[in-house]
Structure 1
């Protein structure tokens, strides 16, 4: 079996075609992999306090997320750097089993160090699954459906930001954090067994399969540093770790430009190349979006919103992303290029608009008072979803055929990097602006103002980059 793409022509470019009888099995397998990675990224953050209360290890608390993120990046890299001759289907089966083993280790962990090992294994497997979703697109779907598949993945990430914490809250409320991991084991086994039959056995068309070890080490070190920076309180340490991460990434880029063994597809580290600007647009958009992690705090501290309601309100960011992804799914050519530009402008404007709507000490006790903030949060996510699928499709479309796996894996990697750097940078900004000292109302007001003012700046970079993206040829 070579590819589903060649078995029959596509009569409709509707997103529902992804769920036609011919494509449904593969869509469920690939979408399921993205779902595991996305949802698991948020579930553990919710049940983490329960884990610490049960098995201890408070001093290692932050590593539950740090190791998962770093291992996820390594997993997505593995899709492109796997040994020659190993097909994507075999990697999918292995990834699902690895995720299952990691989940089982977390479920039975007697101590925090054992659980951290499980989280690293989990992250590695789920990172592979996420990278595979993009790597399989060109083999499973005809080109008119590439945007629809990317739209589906974007929608999954949007839904996960709501579904993950909700599911985590249910398990945490029942003191059943082990079951939250254990329930994933049979799911992973089922995915591994099904992948053998439901995914095509596509040929490995890569030419260069050498491993860019130096670049991988530098990138993983950068991810670890920036992830740690996002979890510590000391402002100067945060700044130093972020600075070190930037130096490591810059070093990786310099080596990548000169090396014959590349981690990224050709042109990805040369700003003059369109593919580099596409990746950088994804990175900056994710970096800006991550500033939403402090919205619940500002809602509760400055506006008297309850924790439950603030959680639902910030979920509007995810809702906006999902709705926009489906809204723009049918765009192509010039429409798609305009959607990317409009999305960058909208996200940037919405982020800056949070200053007058959140950086105030006004109780949100009437609809008129909180409606502007609600609309702005929705539009923040809407901007990302508007152009996301088109950015992904353009990357896959212009990458060299022999580097498609690298290009696909780099999409997940760039998304994770943007989120990690965004969380760390946001932490530096709010701490430097007084969130913890002097703290309280005055600290919250200052932190909200500076956070959304400074985080809008990378958004301006995204806007500038989007203006250089040419429409795909018909």
Structure 2
């Protein structure tokens, strides 16, 4: 853990420093891994309405996201608890290969169930790649560039904002969603072949422990049980499954508190730990942001927009994240903490305002109505982007000695859990409030009202945790 004070000159390097000769290839590889994941996210968001129209499975809509991120928990965890003989660049190869295999399965899937299998394999690979992006930061860049490297990931998401919906929308409009998944296969192969040559091995000091199988299994089970709750029709069974999911999380915390084989860095399970508060903020913000998985559906059903337009509009969320990341990247200390608090407030408010802007019937696609909804979609992403790079920097500074790998991988674990629980909760909310019964426009209106009202709350809770953060590097 670093307690060093960074001088103003060192604290605000330019993003272009990441592309100097010493770190160029590392930047391209790490950015490429994040790019695979980010582009695929927007391809899938844009394609899902077309997929369910083609092969059915509307009740499994949220599962396409949930099973993906549940699998990514496993992938990110392996990075932290891998055997000592397995270097980080070997993990990168495995992640790229798994991502390519999963994309191929999605491309040839005859049913929604098969799509979910492919998504699970994709998610496992994505867990590797995203966790490695953070784990490699300290091997590829000097410490003053850590925050800039985190901002780079936001830039990658910004590029994906345009590539993903474009690819997904074009193929959705032509009912050729399978080809969109197939495009990711050769990209994965190239990344797998290049990793051993362009990335350092990533060997360094770390505390090795036994794999925390119990915690991993309980968390994944909780995610899957909550997802199942989102797709069952019986309200009593849905409530029972939701309670079981909560029990799984509570059991995970209880085991982690006293286990020798830990999933998170030492001391993180206590709320008094600053690192615990950072992870909780990440988790809460991501739960809220995952209410976006139904935005393309609501735009198409309620506002009469085409698949490609709905893809671009939801992608503005990532553009907001990117814009905010660049705007706030050079802030440090108290200013960085204030912007984390402000960002959580912006995200919570923008999500709540979608009740009025998105959850309304606009069959003529009136410009003013769509423009208002678009603004709040953008602000949802802007809010989380204001503080995300600073939260990542907090993790790298607060990590206990020898546990930086575990702390870095836990960022991805929080991302995956936030996305998984967010998607599952979104599924429970919309399926409980009319999306399936009565369905159609009336059901979509009711479901959208409840979805954005309830999922604004986690971001609001994150404000409370953000008020108690230490200064970066402190």
Matched, 1:167 2:171: no
Counterpart in the other structure of 2:463 = 463
CA distance in 1, matches of 2:429, 2:51: 29
Counterpart in the other structure of 1:135 = 135
| Per-residue deviation, 1:215 | 0.8
Distance 1:162 1:251, change over 3 A: farther
The total of aligned residue pairs comes to 465
CA distance in 2, matches of 1:296, 1:108: 23
Distance 1:429 1:161, change over 3 A: farther
TM-score scaled to structure 1, two decimals? 0.86
CA contact (8 A) 2:101 2:185 kept: yes
CA distance in 1, matches of 2:131, 2:46: 25
Pairing of 1:16-415 with structure 2 (within 5 A): 16-44=16-44, 46-47=46-47, 65-104=65-104, 117-157=117-157, 159-160=159-160, 163-174=163-174, 176-230=176-230, 235-303=235-303, 305=305, 308-361=308-361, 367-415=367-415
| Per-residue deviation, 1:196 | 1.2
Counterpart in the other structure of 1:6 = none
Structure 1: gaps spanning 5 or more residues: 1-8
| Per-residue deviation, 1:225 | 2.1
CA contact (8 A) 2:67 2:420 kept: no
CA distance in 2, matches of 1:126, 1:188: 11
CA distance in 2, matches of 1:326, 1:184: 28
Distance 1:159 1:287, change over 3 A: farther
Deviates most, 62-71 or 92-101: 62-71
Question: SS state of the match for residue 208, structure 1?
Answer: coil
| Per-residue deviation, 1:232 | 5.3
CA contact (8 A) 1:87 1:204 kept: no
CA contact (8 A) 2:169 2:307 kept: no
CA contact (8 A) 1:37 1:127 kept: no
Distance 1:185 1:313, change over 3 A: closer
Deviation string 1:428-469 (CA, Å, 9 cap, x unpaired) is 333434444455555444433333322222122111111111
CA distance in 2, matches of 1:80, 1:121: 19
| Per-residue deviation, 1:207 | 2.1
Distance 1:378 1:142, change over 3 A: same
CA distance in 2, matches of 1:303, 1:75: 38
CA distance in 1, matches of 2:361, 2:171: 34
Higher RCO (Cα < 8 Å, 6 or more apart): 2
CA distance in 1, matches of 2:118, 2:366: 46
TM-score scaled to structure 2, two decimals? 0.86
CA contact (8 A) 1:84 1:209 kept: no
CA distance in 1, matches of 2:405, 2:435: 43
CA distance in 2, matches of 1:433, 1:120: 28
Matched, 1:454 2:450: no
Distance 1:359 1:21, change over 3 A: same
Counterpart in the other structure of 2:3 = none
| Per-residue deviation, 1:99 | 3.0
Deviation string 1:371-420 (CA, Å, 9 cap, x unpaired) is 43332222121101100111111011111131111111111111121112
CA distance in 2, matches of 1:74, 1:90: 16
Deviates most, 441-450 or 103-112: 103-112
Distance 1:214 1:419, change over 3 A: same
Counterpart in the other structure of 1:4 = none
CA distance in 1, matches of 2:156, 2:127: 15
Deviation string 1:280-302 (CA, Å, 9 cap, x unpaired) is 10111011112233334444555
Deviation string 1:308-345 (CA, Å, 9 cap, x unpaired) is 54443333222211111111111111221111011011
CA distance in 1, matches of 2:149, 2:175: 37
CA distance in 2, matches of 1:52, 1:295: 15
| Per-residue deviation, 1:365 | 6.0
Deviation string 1:189-247 (CA, Å, 9 cap, x unpaired) is 32222211211123231222311111111112122223344455665544433332221
